[in-house]
Amino acid sequence: QSALTQPPSASGSPGQSVTISCTGTSSDVGGYNYVSWYQQHPGKAPKLMIYEVSKRPSGVPDRFSGSKSGNTASLTVSGLQAEDEADYYCTSYAGSYNLVFGGGTKLTVL
Amino acid sequence: QVQLVESGGGVVQPGRSLRLSCTASGFTFSSYGMHWVRQAPGKGLEWVAFIWYDGSKKYYADSVKGRFTISRDNSKNTLYLQMNSLRAEDTAVYYCARDYYGDYSRVDYWGQGTLVTVSS
């Protein structure tokens, strides 16, 4: 399975919104509503921020939202805060009990 | 609270074997499917393997198929990853993670990881 495509970096100023894209194919992102997003701070374990395209686990601020159109999923972070600076990874179910990840996006809060 | 603690990592020579463990607490381990996911130094995440809640079915990434074996002991709340014929490219931090619904839709809790370094 090929990795999903994410931009290597994204940035925004405090209070602004930023959107990170995640492009796959009809065999993964486009074929299933099983897209998740993870936040990872340096040296830490990934933290689930969004699952099933747009659902937020309890405790995740509503500043984080997810969506999908065709083969591309997106994570939007609104009202950027300093603590949002981290790496973000998308993942999608890819059929046949395979899970595929994106290459990661480093979000910088300017 | 949900807690996953990996152990067993270390430095191993190419071609040798290593077994990782993941001890779970704070939830009914026997009710959840579990994943292993790895992250090479400075790189992204890569799914490795998945096992059903009862251990009856197991799935692997092509990169480890035939070399790695995922298993679990529900009486000990422990997940395992037996890694054989290790290669340099297997060097990574290995995470165990819980699959909330058992269908890959919501992999919610992750451990802190254990580092495996394959080097001569």
Closest residue in chain B to residue A100, using alpha carbons only = B47
Residues of B in contact with A44 (CB under 8 A): 112
Per-residue pLDDT, A2: 65
User: What is the nearest CA distance from B80 to chain A, expressed in angstroms?
Assistant: 18
Q: Which residues of chain B have pLDDT under 50?
A: none
- For residue B36, give both structure tokens: 């292993």
The secondary structure of B13-61 as a DSSP string is -TT--EEEEEEEESS-GGGSEEEEEEE-TTS-EEEEEEE-TTSS-EEE-
- For residue A30, give both structure tokens: 């486009």
CA dist A49 and A22 (Å) reads 15
Chain B contact probe: residue of A92, A99, A105 with most B CBs at under 10 A: A99
- For residue B7, give both structure tokens: 């152990």
Per-residue pLDDT, A61: 96
In degrees, to the nearest 5, what angle opens at C-alpha B86 toward C-alphas B83 and B90?
Answer: 90
Per-residue pLDDT, B105: 87
Q: Are A60 and A84 in contact (CB under 8 A)?
A: no
The secondary structure of A63-77 as a DSSP string is TEEEEEETTEEEEEE
Per-residue pLDDT, B102: 85
- For residue B3, give both structure tokens: 């807690």
Q: Look up residue A93 and give its amino acid.
A: Y
Burial of B8 (0-12, 13-18, 19+ CB in 10 A): middle
Nearest Cα to B100, choosing from B90, B91, B110, B87? B110
SS3 B31: helix
- Kindly give the confidence (pLDDT) of every residue in chain A, 110 residues in length, as a single tens digit, with 9 standing for 90 and above: 568 999 999 999 999 999 999 999 999 999 999 999 999 999 999 999 999 999 999 999 999 999 999 999 999 999 999 999 999 999 999 999 999 999 999 999 99
**In this complex, which of A48, A97, A98 lies closest to B107 when CB atoms are compared?**
A48
Beta bridge partners of A39: A47, A88
Task: Please tell me if residue A93 touches chain B, with a CB cutoff of 8 Å.
Answer: yes
